[in-house]
Amino acid sequence: MKKICIVGLIIVNIIACNSNNKSTEEKSETPTVAQTIVNSPLLGSYVGPFGDNKITLLITKVIGDTVEGRSVVGGNDRPFSGLATLVNDIYTINAKEPGDNKYDGTFVISFDKKNGNAIKGNWKPFKEGDHFGAKDFSLARNTFKYLVDVGQYPQASKRLLKEDDVSNVMKEDLEIMRNEIFARHGYCFKKKHLRKQFENKDWYIPNSVDIKNDLTEIEKKNIALIKKYEKYAEEYGNDFGR
């Protein structure tokens, strides 16, 4: 009886081992999308035209076939999440923004592994409005960097301004000088005229709607000085600075 039991146990163990080996082989031969995307080339920042505005689309996390990121455009910074599929070296991401903002919608993003520096796709709002609708986009990989030497008035970020630097400057130019400081930090402007002012600049990449903690002490003091002279210009009109 003991010999029969021992033989039976050996047979059972052999069958179990063969079954486990077969299961392992099947998994390795047919990798799932989740296994494929763990070390994803999708991660990164992509920038380009989005209707009348400039958008930065950031893919910040890829775990399995789940993708998370942010869209920064038109004064809004919105998260999105969704699923990715991989067919013939082309990733397709279907992702949604939360839906608690009237400008939220759905992204369909295409990424070709043969061209890892670009994405394309379309965005559709959950609810179309009078001034916004579906948009197609083609974006290039580009990462925001804080650059001190860009713009018409780089001195506003490089050194403390003196009154002579601002006392003879017109109000419109003072506004540009002040907002260039924010633009250098990638601030995404809500005001349309400021978006038009900066979004056509190669160096400008919208990156955030809150850059208060990024401002340097020099920049904070210069902003205060410029705002003071903007107020003077508003009060004295055309007589200011002459």
- Encode pLDDT of 207-232 as tens digits: 999 999 999 999 999 999 999 999 88
Number of domains in the chain: 3
15 plus 80 within the same structural domain? no
pLDDT category at 7 given cuts 50, 70, 90 is very low
Residue 22 has a pLDDT of: 43
**Selection from 102, 85, 101, 104 nearest residue 93 by Cα:** 85
Degrees (nearest 5) of the Cα angle 219, 222, 225? 155
Query: What phi and psi, each to the nearest 5 degrees, are found at residue 29?
Result: -75, -30
177 plus 88 within the same structural domain? no
pLDDT category at 123 given cuts 50, 70, 90 is very high
| Residue 105 covered by a domain | yes
Task: Indicate if the pLDDT at residue 21 is higher than 90.
Answer: no
Host domain of residue 20: 2-30
22 plus 48 within the same structural domain? no
136 plus 40 within the same structural domain? yes
| Residue 149 covered by a domain | no
Average pLDDT for residues 79-92, to the nearest whole number?
96
45 plus 135 within the same structural domain? yes
Per residue in 124-143, pLDDT (tens digit) is 999 877 567 899 999 999 99
Task: Indicate if the pLDDT at residue 3 is higher than 60.
Answer: no
Considering the chain, what is the average pLDDT of its residues?
86
Task: Indicate if the pLDDT at residue 28 is higher than 90.
Answer: no
**Selection from 210, 147, 207 nearest residue 180 by Cα:** 147
CA distance to 109, 122, 187, 217, per residue, from 112 (Å): 10, 15, 30, 43
CATH of the domain at 44: 2.40.160
SS3 188: coil
108 plus 76 within the same structural domain? yes
69 plus 125 within the same structural domain? yes
119 plus 135 within the same structural domain? yes
Per residue in 163-217, pLDDT (tens digit) is 999 998 999 999 999 999 999 999 999 999 999 999 999 999 999 999 999 999 9
| Residue 98 covered by a domain | yes
Task: Indicate if the pLDDT at residue 12 is higher than 50.
Answer: no
Residue 55 has a pLDDT of: 98
pTM, two decimal places: 0.80
Residue 237 has a pLDDT of: 63
